[in-house]
Chain A
Amino acid sequence: MRLFISTLGKLRSRLATWLTLGLLILLMALIYLAVGATAKQTLERPGGQSVLLLLTFPGAYALILGFVLGLGGLFVMAYAAAIAGSEWTWGTLKTAVARGESRSRYMLTTFFGIAALALVGLLFAFLVGVIVTFLAATLAGVSTDGIGDTSIFGNLPEQFLRGWFGLVEVGAVGFTIATLARSQLAGVGAGIGIYFAGSFAGIFLPDIVKYLPFAAANSLIQVNGSASAGGGAPTARLDPNTALIVVLVWLVGSLVVTALFTERAEISG
C-alpha cells in the first residue's frame, strides 16, 4: 500500500498528468463551444439538426461520456506509455530493484496508480463536459430542460465503469508497449500509431479491427447506436458484453506481458 500511495503522489506531482487532463478538457470545451456558437448556421444546412443532439440533454450525457472515452483513450494510452517508459529511461526502476523491490510489483503498482488517476480524470472531465455542454446549449438556444432527467442516471454508473474499464485497457496496452521498448517516446509513438492505424484499418478490415484495443474499448458503452470518438469510427462494433471479454483479455494479457518482461529484463543505465 505504501508503494501505491507513493505512486499516486509521484503521478500527482508530474506535469504530464495535468497536461493530459488539461488538453482533453480544452479540446472538449473548444469543440462543444464551437458547436454551440455555430449552431444557427449549422441548422440551415441539410442534416444540421442532428448536430444539436450533442447539446440536447439527457442524450448529451452519453455523448459526453463517449467523447471523453474516445479522445481520453488516446490520451491515457500516451500517458501510460510515458510513465512506463520513464521508469526505464530515468533509471528509477533500477534504483527500486536495487533496493530489493519486486520488479513486477513495482511496475504493476505504477499501472494501478495510472488506472486510479484515469478514474478521477474521467469523472472530472465528464463534469466539465456537462458544464460546457450546458453553456454551449444555452449559446445555441437549445433547451436544457432534460438536464434533470433522472432516467438516464440509472444507466450512467454502469456506463461509467465500462468506460473506465476501456480506458484502463488502452492504458495497459500503451504501458506494455513502452515497457517492451523501455522508452517513453517509443511507447507514446506506438500508442498514437495504433490509434490512427486502427481508425484507418477499420474502413477495410472492420471484422478484425473491432477486436483491437481501441475499437473493443469503444464498444463497451452504448452511445445512441453510434460509435464514440475513440479509434475513429469503426464500421463494425462488438456487442457490449462481448467487448467486455475482449477488453479483459487485452488488459490481462498486457499486464502479464509487462510483468513477465520486467521480471526477466536485464536492467542497466
Chain B
Amino acid sequence: MPSGVVYGFLGPNGAGKTTTMRLLTGLIHPDGGTIELLGRPFGRRDRRRLFEVGALVESPAFYPYLSGRANLRALAASGAPTPKHRVEEVLELVGLKERGGDKVSQYSLGMKQRLGIAGALLSDPKLLLLDEPANGLDPAGIVAMRDTLRHLASTGKTVFISSHLLSEVSQLADVIGIIAAGKLVREGPIETLLSGEGRVRVRVAAAEVDRAVSALAPLGVAARVDGSDDGRPAGPATETGWLEVPIEPSRAAEVNRILAGAGIYASGLESGSDLESLFLELTAAAPPARTEGQIQAVPGNWQ
C-alpha cells in the first residue's frame, strides 16, 4: 500500500477481511508465509511496530462500567506512550467530548463506534486499520467520519478500511483491494479499476425501446434493456423503458445526442461507474477458501 491514501478493502462475508486485520494487528499469527507492516517484516516479536498503527478490529471493545473518557485513558496506558491531552483531542475529533463522561454502557452503537475510532487514533498512528468503520453511524456521522479519514490521509497517514458498503468505499477510497476466498483478486486505484465498469442509463418511451437499441448500435457496445439478461425487451423493464449502455460515464451526452438524432427523446439519464458489478464479477467466481488465515496475493494486479 502506498502511504497517504485511503485503501478500501472489500470482500464478501468469510472472504478473509477480518482475518487479514487480525493478522496485521498481531491478534493471530500466520500458519505460513510472511507479513510486512510499515515496510518491514512483522512477526510475533515485533509488537512494538503496532505503536505506529491504530486499529479498530471487529466491534469496538470497552469496559462498559467506565466512561468513554476513562476507557480511552485506560487504553492510553497500554501500548504506545500517549500524552494525556491526546484523549481530549480524539474525543473532540469524533464528536464525543460532551458525552465523554458518560458510561460506555449508555452509549449507542454509533457512539461506541466513534469511541472505537478515537481509540484507534490515540497514538497518532501512521497506519489506521478500521474494520467496518461506518457500522452503526448515522448519516451525519458517516459524513463526519469520511471527512476525518480523508483529512488524515491528506496529512500523510495511510487509512485502511474494510467494508461491505461498496458505495461508502467508492466515495472514500483512493485504492481498492478486493479479496475473495482468501485471495486478493484485484487491487489498484479506484479510477483504474472502474475504467471498464462505467455505464449510462437512459429512459425512453416503452414503445421506442427496440428502436433506441438499434440507434445506439454505432457506439460499439450493446445497449441492454435494464433488468433483462439477454438485452431483449422483457418484463417490467420494457414498461419502464430504461436502457443500460456499458460505456464511460463521460459519454452520457453522446448517448443523449444519438437518441435525439434518431427522434427519440430521453426522459431520464443517469451515469456512473459500477463498483458493485466489478465486485460481484470478481467474488462470484472465486473458489471457496481452503482454511481460515490463508491469504494469498495474486501478483500483477497492482498498478
- Highest count of chain A CB atoms <10 Å: which of B27, B28, B62, B119: B27
Check B27 against A97 for contact (C-beta < 8 Å). Answer: yes
Check B22 against A268 for contact (C-beta < 8 Å). Answer: yes
Which of B51-59, B91-99, B237-245 lies at the binding interface?
B51-59
The CA-CA distance from A97 to B79 in the complex, in Å, is 8
Check A90 against B64 for contact (C-beta < 8 Å). Answer: yes
Check B63 against A90 for contact (C-beta < 8 Å). Answer: yes
Check B78 against A96 for contact (C-beta < 8 Å). Answer: yes
Q: Is A2 an interface residue (CB 8 A)?
A: yes
Check B27 against A92 for contact (C-beta < 8 Å). Answer: no
**Known contacts A98-B50, A99-B50; A90/B78 CB under 8 A:** no
The distance from the CB of B72 to the nearest CB of chain A, in whole angstroms, is 11
Q: Is B74 an interface residue (CB 8 A)?
A: yes
Q: In the complex, which residue of chain B has the Cβ closest to the Cβ of A6?
A: B77
Tally chain B residues at the interface, Cβ within 8 Å.
35
Q: Could you list 20 further interchain pairs (A-B, Cβ under 8 angstroms) beyond the known A92-B61, A106-B78?
A: A6-B74, A6-B78, A10-B63, A13-B66, A14-B63, A90-B61, A90-B64, A91-B61, A94-B57, A97-B26, A98-B26, A98-B53, A99-B78, A100-B50, A102-B47, A266-B27, A268-B22, A268-B58, A269-B58, A269-B61
The CA-CA distance from A13 to B67 in the complex, in Å, is 10
Interface residues of B (CB under 8 A from A): 22, 25-29, 47-51, 53-55, 57-66, 70, 73-75, 77-80, 119, 122-123
The distance from the CB of B267 to the nearest CB of chain A, in whole angstroms, is 52
Query: Of A15, A101, A269, which contacts B79 at CB under 8 A?
Result: A101
Check A13 against B70 for contact (C-beta < 8 Å). Answer: yes
The distance from the CB of A54 to the nearest CB of chain B, in whole angstroms, is 37
The CA-CA distance from A90 to B27 in the complex, in Å, is 15
The CA-CA distance from A23 to B27 in the complex, in Å, is 37
Q: What are 10 sample pairs from A and B whose C-beta atoms fall under 8 A apart?
A: A5-B77, A10-B63, A98-B53, A99-B122, A100-B49, A100-B51, A100-B53, A100-B79, A267-B27, A268-B27
Check A96 against B75 for contact (C-beta < 8 Å). Answer: yes
The CA-CA distance from A3 to B61 in the complex, in Å, is 18
10 pairs of A and B residues whose beta carbons are closest in the complex? A91-B61, A99-B79, A100-B50, A6-B77, A101-B78, A98-B25, A96-B78, A100-B79, A267-B27, A98-B55
Check A101 against B28 for contact (C-beta < 8 Å). Answer: no
The distance from the CB of A31 to the nearest CB of chain B, in whole angstroms, is 30
Q: In the complex, which residue of chain A has the Cβ closest to the Cβ of B58?
A: A269
Query: Of A5, A98, A102, which contacts B27 at CB under 8 A?
Result: A98
In the complex, which residues 94-119 of chain A have their Cβ closer than 8 Å to any Cβ of chain B? 94-102, 106
The distance from the CB of A163 to the nearest CB of chain B, in whole angstroms, is 29
Interface residues of A (CB under 8 A from B): 2-3, 5-6, 9-10, 13-15, 90-92, 94-102, 106, 266-269
List the A side residues contacting B63 at CB < 8 Å. 10, 14, 90, 92
Q: In the complex, which residue of chain B has the Cβ closest to the Cβ of A5?
A: B77
The distance from the CB of B220 to the nearest CB of chain A, in whole angstroms, is 50
List the B side residues contacting A92 at CB < 8 Å. 61-63
The CA-CA distance from A10 to B67 in the complex, in Å, is 11
**Known contacts A13-B65, A95-B61, A106-B78; A100/B48 CB under 8 A:** yes
Query: Of A2, A15, A97, which contacts B65 at CB under 8 A?
Result: A15
Q: In the complex, which residue of chain B has the Cβ closest to the Cβ of A90?
A: B61
The CA-CA distance from A106 to B49 in the complex, in Å, is 17
- Highest count of chain A CB atoms <10 Å: which of B57, B73, B77, B122: B77
The distance from the CB of B126 to the nearest CB of chain A, in whole angstroms, is 13
Check A101 against B47 for contact (C-beta < 8 Å). Answer: yes
List the A side residues contacting B29 at CB < 8 Å. 266
The CA-CA distance from A91 to B29 in the complex, in Å, is 18
Q: In the complex, which residue of chain A has the Cβ closest to the Cβ of B125?
A: A99
Q: In the complex, which residue of chain A has the Cβ closest to the Cβ of B74?
A: A6
List the A side residues contacting B26 at CB < 8 Å. 97-98, 100
List the A side residues contacting B122 at CB < 8 Å. 99
Check A91 against B59 for contact (C-beta < 8 Å). Answer: yes
Q: In the complex, which residue of chain B has the Cβ closest to the Cβ of A92?
A: B61
List the B side residues contacting A95 at CB < 8 Å. 60-62, 75, 119
Q: In the complex, which residue of chain A has the Cβ closest to the Cβ of B293?
A: A266
List the A side residues contacting B65 at CB < 8 Å. 13-15
Query: Of A3, A5, A98, A106, which contacts B57 at CB under 8 A?
Result: A98
